[in-house]
Amino acid sequence: MKRYGIKVLGLGPYLRAPGDGRRSPQIRAETLIWALVVSRLLRSPAYHAVEGLVRSGACRALGAHRGFGDDALAYFTERLDAEPTRVALAASLRRAKRNKAFDDTLWISYVLDGTGGGRRCDAACALCHPSFDAEGQVVRYHHRLSLLTVVAGSWVLPVDAEPYGPGDSELAASTRLLKRSVAHLGRRFAQCVVVDAEYAGAPFLHAAGTLGLPVVARLKHNLPELFQAARDRFEAQPPTRSFQEKGERIEVWDADDFEPWWGLDWLSVRVLRYRQHHANGTVSEAYWLTNLSPRRAPSRTLFRLAKSRWGIENQGFNDAKNRYGLEHIGHHHPNSVLVDVLLLGLALTLERLYRLRYLRRGCHPPLSAITFCRLLWMSLGRQPPASDTS
Ligand SMILES: [Zn+2]
């Protein structure tokens, strides 16, 4: 897999010079980076688990010529410049696009969202946010971060992340993240950005517009006038159209002539309502707003873009949290936290492209993520931990 990363995704120069900030390094930066990436794919992200691996018979298979301790990883990640990892991640995605990895799909979208994790009882670094009880007493601390993911058909690939501290906000962190990702990936990489309702304010919509990106945003009660106007109109009308999607009936209402709210510089707002009739008899409904024209994104395309929001939930956060340790804080230091989440993004992108594209050549069905993880453990001459049942 490392060879694939170097030859196909061009990660060689990054692995040799990942932004090491140590003064007199005893262990090569490439060794430490690769051990951190592989430990995430082995679903053992804790620094002491990495130490256990490199001090075992798996040392050489991991590309480490000598063992090292968890304190060496803490010292390394505190001082590692995060920018080369961001640049390498973006370059891998650009190269995957050039190699036609996403050619099956017409739309590539950015999906932005925030999440939390790393709960503890006391503050351990500048990124620890206090949580208060009803009396205003601090009950615990946790971390917050924004994540930007590329969604292209069935591909869900993390691009960049920004942990943020108390006093900052998800919206501000996500806006910085979007600007930086467009700078790294280029203006033409994706065609739109898909976000939840809390992003549907004029400042974020204008910031995306400045970057040349139309927005697809969930419409909820935080825009009460537009939400009510859309409900009043659509509930009095039959659906604009209906279609089958993955065996389920979808009804959509779609109109592009709603009044923009005060402060929004759009000429009009397009609103889509969908009702999805699930196979088990339940019905889910949602409203979305956008400045994509119906000609560019017909109702069915807009429905799919809106549903891609769940890609980041399922293959982004849930996968990263439940399987790859996104919530685990290896070392409470702002730079280590940032580096760890970026290396998790690099690990997931590398794994998905390698497993689903490189290993899938011919007519073989793709390996599942857990089968790939078990094969990785066996390639190290070790058994996966018994608790790993996902
Ligand atoms: Zn912390």
342-366 tens-digit pLDDT: 999 999 899 888 888 777 766 777 7
Q: Is a pLDDT exceeding 70 seen at residue 274?
A: yes
Going from the Cα of 286 to the center of ligand 1, the distance in angstroms, rounded, reads: 36
pLDDT in tens, 5-30: 888 888 999 999 999 999 989 899 99
Q: How many CB atoms lie within 10 A of CB 214?
A: 19
Closest CA to 205 of 190, 218, 220: 218
As a whole number of angstroms, the distance between CA 204 and CA 196 comes to: 12
Q: Is a pLDDT exceeding 80 seen at residue 161?
A: yes
Beta carbons of 36 and 340 less than 8 angstroms apart: yes
Going from the Cα of 145 to the center of ligand 1, the distance in angstroms, rounded, reads: 12
Q: Which residue has the higher pLDDT, 318 or 184?
A: 184
Going from the Cα of 125 to the center of ligand 1, the distance in angstroms, rounded, reads: 4
Of 39-43, 72-76, 135-139, 238-242, the one with minimum mean pLDDT is: 39-43
Going from the Cα of 244 to the center of ligand 1, the distance in angstroms, rounded, reads: 47
End-to-end CA gap in the chain: 22
Going from the Cα of 24 to the center of ligand 1, the distance in angstroms, rounded, reads: 27
Going from the Cα of 333 to the center of ligand 1, the distance in angstroms, rounded, reads: 6
Highest mean pLDDT among 140-154, 169-183, 314-328: 169-183
**317 — pLDDT class (breaks 50, 70, 90):** low
Going from the Cα of 341 to the center of ligand 1, the distance in angstroms, rounded, reads: 13
Going from the Cα of 172 to the center of ligand 1, the distance in angstroms, rounded, reads: 19
Beta carbons of 312 and 147 less than 8 angstroms apart: yes
Mean pLDDT within 175-203:
95
Of 104-118, 125-139, 236-250, 310-324, the one with minimum mean pLDDT is: 310-324
Going from the Cα of 119 to the center of ligand 1, the distance in angstroms, rounded, reads: 9
Q: How far is CA 152 from each of CA 100, 192, 303, 373, rounded to the nearest angstrom? A: 12, 11, 14, 24
Phi then psi for residue 110, to 5 deg, are -90, 135
213 exposure class (CB count in 10 Å sphere: 0-12, 13-18, 19+): buried
Strand pairing class (241-245; 215-219): unpaired
Going from the Cα of 331 to the center of ligand 1, the distance in angstroms, rounded, reads: 8
Going from the Cα of 131 to the center of ligand 1, the distance in angstroms, rounded, reads: 13
Give the gyration radius of the chain's Cα atoms. Answer: 22
Beta carbons of 281 and 181 less than 8 angstroms apart: no
Going from the Cα of 116 to the center of ligand 1, the distance in angstroms, rounded, reads: 12
Report the percent of the chain where pLDDT is more than 90. 56
Q: Which residue has the higher pLDDT, 5 or 61?
A: 5
Q: Which residue has the higher pLDDT, 382 or 367?
A: 367
Task: Give the three-state DSSP class for 293.
Answer: coil
As a whole number of angstroms, the distance between CA 70 and CA 48 comes to: 5
Beta carbons of 214 and 290 less than 8 angstroms apart: yes
In which element (H, E) is residue 40 found?
helix 29-41
Beta carbons of 179 and 160 less than 8 angstroms apart: no
Which domains does the chain possess?
2-84+329-379 (no CATH), 101-319 (3.90.350.10)
Q: Is a pLDDT exceeding 80 seen at residue 289?
A: yes
As a whole number of angstroms, the distance between CA 144 and CA 165 comes to: 7
Going from the Cα of 351 to the center of ligand 1, the distance in angstroms, rounded, reads: 28
Mean pLDDT within 204-229:
96
Closest CA to 256 of 285, 286, 230: 230
**314 — pLDDT class (breaks 50, 70, 90):** low
Beta carbons of 44 and 385 less than 8 angstroms apart: yes
**199 — pLDDT class (breaks 50, 70, 90):** very high
Going from the Cα of 302 to the center of ligand 1, the distance in angstroms, rounded, reads: 39
Angle between helices 70-79 and 334-353 (to 10 degrees): 100
